[in-house]
A and B are shown apart, each in its own frame.
Chain A
Amino acid sequence: MKDNKYYRDEVPENNPTFEVDRRDFVKLLGGGLFIYFQLGEFLVGVAAEAEQRRSVPTDYNAFLHIGEDGTVTCLIGKIEMGQGIITSFPQMIADELDTPLESVKMVMGDTELCPYDAGTWGSLSTRVLGPAMLVAVAEARAVLLSLGAEYLEVAPEDLAVENGVIFIKSKKNKKVSFGQLTKGKKIEKYLEVKPKAKDYSEYKIRGKSFKHADGIVKVKGEAMYSGDFRMPGMLYAKILRPPSHGATLISADTSEAEKMEGITIARNKELVAVLHRDIEKAEAALFKVKAEYKFDEMKVDDQTVFKRMLEFPSEARVVKSSGDIATGKSSSDLIFESEFHNSYVAHAAIETHTALGFMEGDKVVVRASTQTPFGTQDGIARELGLGLDKVRVIPPFLGGGFGGKTMFRQAIEAARLTKITGKPIMVLWTRKECFFYDNFRPAAVIKITSGTDKSGKISLWDYHEYFAGARGSDTIYDVPNAKTTSYSARDIHPFLTGAWRAPGNNTNTFARESQIDMMASKTGVDPLDFRLKNLKDERMIGVLKAVADLFGWTPAKSPSGRGYGIACGFDAGSYVAHIAEVKVDQTTGKIQVVRVACAQDMGYCINPEGSIIQMEGCITMGMGYALTEEVKFTGGDIHTANFGTYQLPQFSWVPKIQTKILEKNEAPQGGGEPAIICMGGVLANAVFDACGARLYQLPMTPERVLGAIAKVK
């Protein structure tokens, strides 16, 4: 953590300008400096990941505007869901432009105002959009400097900029502000020759900690989430849901519901909704709808899914290969074979999926809790058969996303119902609906055959990943004979699955780091030494040494009885290493996490405190998938319906958390996800160190811990 003296006392008056309506935008367009920008090249990688249905736009988008009052407006297609770009983006912009932080306003995710963006996920905002945006800002600064030179009748080289004011270096009182320069003008610049952004050594606002720009509105309860908007004539919709995935509606009798006062029914194909201005009346009416279904369910449940995964006809893809597996086997002194299982987990953001749809003329407008406003716009347009110009999506604040709000079914429902009725329709899912339609992190199986030679080096690594996703499946260790194979298939899951904070990587890092730990233990080497001995990547070695220092690691062969575990990994461009201390109650099987230390190398860190908050969040959230979170189901019937049967981390669980961000003058990397990837592995290794019991399945419930302990005794 960087020095606290940089920590700002006052939160900047940087209220998010989510609510710019088009009249304001027209007013914005009235004057000032606009930087238009071609986003295409910066979005190629993003679009590939998103499997977007529209091609990457090649037109120019307004991206940055400097108003007549000096206000800098940055328009980006990303959204704010707690990850903190509403704070760190203004830092980058203000710093690059030499303007006060307070003068930067963010307009985020509005499909009508903001440039296209595939979605807010993958820790991509800072590392992928960031550089593109900074070039636009550098261009704006250059334009302002040339205007300033004209105004002050000197050469641009003679000028300097501070706090949004341009002045002559030798005569500080000869000056002009950004606002003065843009007043009464409309300057549009199309960025083609890309100016060079500032060097790290010139950073003044970046690299320092700032508090959440949206903190005050959030503590006052004034921050607007999708469900908080009200419109005249607005109706709540409660939608008929099947009892399970795989159930198809045959008939729905709404006659009893229709008798209730104020209730109207909206039907369109399979969509049956009861509408009322009072959400609870709508809910009560929904109970009166009688529906019949036919069932076609998969014969699988949370116990048998792993067997199914190994037997299922899947497509194998070699992700990476070096050397030769047979050679690796023959050169190994010890061979280790393991099979790891990971369960389905839910996103469980505290805000359920919500959307308010309404008509504006012939245009459908939807305020939706979505991580992908443009994807949502695509989805609605497709569903309703409308052009993109007839659909506008406005994302307000999101009450958590974690990948779950890349799915926007609720927004399509609101759009359909508002199109049918012509009225403003609020769709606010219950917790049960949220679990039912969640795109769960997939359950997965990992099979590893590895080996060590007589010198204690890893000589073999044959890694098979079934349905976890390939992210994070790389060996990371220096192994001469290594192969990673990824297996996938359609229709393996009885319900929707998808990206869950650091998709794939939680499962892969759990399996890999457990296997490494087993090899270290068997060869009698301290688990930190074993890793260092088998790593070549200096940055991975760097975070391991840093976390060892932070934690106060002393070498010992595992199991040492101390309950110390270690794990490391790579995600979203960043390196992370964790050490945890746990206590295992050997009679109840309950794990108490005492302490977690984490070191992260994320390149240059824009807002250190903001990044530390993300690391703490990852560690805390990660305890959930490691210890308790598991979706229970039989076929398409999801038994998990509320938090009573799905246990999120709670206050009493929270360990002492120690964090360190390595100071690096290298390109900024992702910070929202990396620190969660080690939590399964680091806690499993700590449990082994405490009691010698090896856990091969997450979550490590008391029953599974007791089972593993019984095998040791």
Chain B
Amino acid sequence: MAETIKFELNGKKVEIPLEKGQTLLWALRNNFNMTGTKYGCGEGYCGACTVIIDGEAVRSCGITMDDVAEKKITTIEGLSVTGKLHPLQQAFVDHDALQCGFCTPGMIMNAYGLLLKTPHPTRKQIIEGMEDNLCRCGAHTRILEAIESASKVLKV
């Protein structure tokens, strides 16, 4: 019998066959059709594939499925649990903190990971926390403002 891997995805217990070498990024995109998590560089440089694993922002392109057993994973699709936009998502909309939108899910998830650890970060802490997420359109200023304003209303 094929080995399976069990974990929690956006609050639901899930199980998929273990495919050797499969990364979390492609499991999410292909096995679960959760395409909000993006491929941008495949080597951990850009952050477009960022998800939360056990409270930590992680690049899903560098995580193989055998590493996620029994872990809790949150993706952009699972960020809002109320049906309304999550305060971070709302802040990105309010600040127009995006252009093409391709890096946006990764930006939001990385910011979420940052706020889980540091609920009220200074501007400097936000910059440091977001430094390695790349945006080509140049929405940086607004992304920083969005995270700052979300941190003021967000109860983590």
Interface residue ranges, A against B (CB under 8 Å)? 11, 81-84, 211-212, 214-225, 227-228, 230, 277-281, 284, 348-352, 397-402, 428, 430-431, 609-610, 613, 616-621, 642-644, 648-652, 654, 657
The answer to whether A399 touches B21 (Cβ under 8 A) is no
**A402 and B137 alpha carbons, distance in the complex (Å):** 9
**A616 and B98 alpha carbons, distance in the complex (Å):** 11
Residue of B nearest to A401 (CB): B100
**A430 and B40 alpha carbons, distance in the complex (Å):** 8
The answer to whether A220 touches B85 (Cβ under 8 A) is yes
**A347 and B132 alpha carbons, distance in the complex (Å):** 18
The answer to whether B38 touches A350 (Cβ under 8 A) is yes
Distance in angstroms from B90 CB to nearest chain A CB is 8
The answer to whether B138 touches A620 (Cβ under 8 A) is yes
In chain B, positions 71-108 with a C-beta closer than 8 Å to chain A are 75-77, 80, 85, 89-90, 92-94, 96, 98-105, 108
Residue of A nearest to B143 (CB): A651
**A227 and B22 alpha carbons, distance in the complex (Å):** 18
Apart from A221-B77, A400-B137, A649-B138, 4 more pairs, CB < 8 Å: A221-B105, A350-B48, A397-B100, A613-B99
**A350 and B50 alpha carbons, distance in the complex (Å):** 14
B57 on the interface (CB 8 Å rule)? Answer: no
B58 on the interface (CB 8 Å rule)? Answer: no
Residue of B nearest to A620 (CB): B138
The answer to whether A651 touches B144 (Cβ under 8 A) is yes
Question: Which of B26, B76, B103, B126 is in CB contact (< 8 Å) with A278?
Answer: B26
Residue of B nearest to A398 (CB): B100
Question: Which of A211, A280, A350, A397 is in CB contact (< 8 Å) with B22?
Answer: A280
Residue of B nearest to A223 (CB): B101
**A423 and B130 alpha carbons, distance in the complex (Å):** 40
B139 on the interface (CB 8 Å rule)? Answer: yes
Distance in angstroms from A441 CB to nearest chain B CB is 14
Q: Given A613-B96, A643-B45, answer yes or no on A351-B40 (Cβ-Cβ < 8 Å).
A: yes
When distances are taken between beta carbons in the complex, the residues of chain A under 8 Å from B19 are: 278, 280-281
The answer to whether A400 touches B39 (Cβ under 8 A) is no
When distances are taken between beta carbons in the complex, the residues of chain B under 8 Å from A398 are: 100
The answer to whether A220 touches B89 (Cβ under 8 A) is yes
In chain B, positions 38-65 with a C-beta closer than 8 Å to chain A are 38-43, 45-46, 48
The answer to whether B103 touches A350 (Cβ under 8 A) is yes
Q: On chain B, which size bracket covers the interface?
A: 35 or more
Query: Looking at chain B's contact residues, is the secondary structure mostly helix, strand, loop, or mixed?
Result: loop
The answer to whether B46 touches A350 (Cβ under 8 A) is yes
The answer to whether A609 touches B144 (Cβ under 8 A) is no
When distances are taken between beta carbons in the complex, the residues of chain A under 8 Å from B126 are: 651
The answer to whether A399 touches B144 (Cβ under 8 A) is no
The answer to whether A350 touches B135 (Cβ under 8 A) is yes
The answer to whether A617 touches B96 (Cβ under 8 A) is no
Distance in angstroms from B42 CB to nearest chain A CB is 6
B23 on the interface (CB 8 Å rule)? Answer: yes
The answer to whether A221 touches B35 (Cβ under 8 A) is yes
- Residue from A220, A401, A609 whose CB has the most chain B CB atoms within 10 Å: A220
When distances are taken between beta carbons in the complex, the residues of chain B under 8 Å from A617 are: 99, 137-139
B127 on the interface (CB 8 Å rule)? Answer: yes
Q: List 18 A-B contacts (CB under 8 A).
A: A211-B96, A220-B77, A221-B75, A225-B35, A225-B38, A351-B38, A399-B38, A399-B101, A400-B100, A617-B99, A619-B138, A620-B141, A642-B41, A643-B41, A649-B140, A650-B134, A650-B140, A651-B144
Distance in angstroms from B74 CB to nearest chain A CB is 12
When distances are taken between beta carbons in the complex, the residues of chain A under 8 Å from B136 are: 348-350, 400, 402, 621, 648
- Residue from A219, A221, A228, A430 whose CB has the most chain B CB atoms within 10 Å: A219
The answer to whether B45 touches A11 (Cβ under 8 A) is no
**A214 and B46 alpha carbons, distance in the complex (Å):** 23
Residue of B nearest to A87 (CB): B96
Distance in angstroms from B58 CB to nearest chain A CB is 16
When distances are taken between beta carbons in the complex, the residues of chain A under 8 Å from B94 are: 211
B151 on the interface (CB 8 Å rule)? Answer: no
The answer to whether A84 touches B99 (Cβ under 8 A) is yes
**A692 and B140 alpha carbons, distance in the complex (Å):** 30
The answer to whether B96 touches A215 (Cβ under 8 A) is yes
The answer to whether A654 touches B144 (Cβ under 8 A) is yes
The answer to whether B101 touches A218 (Cβ under 8 A) is yes
**A618 and B140 alpha carbons, distance in the complex (Å):** 11
Q: Given A350-B40, A350-B135, A649-B138, answer yes or no on A82-B99 (Cβ-Cβ < 8 Å).
A: yes
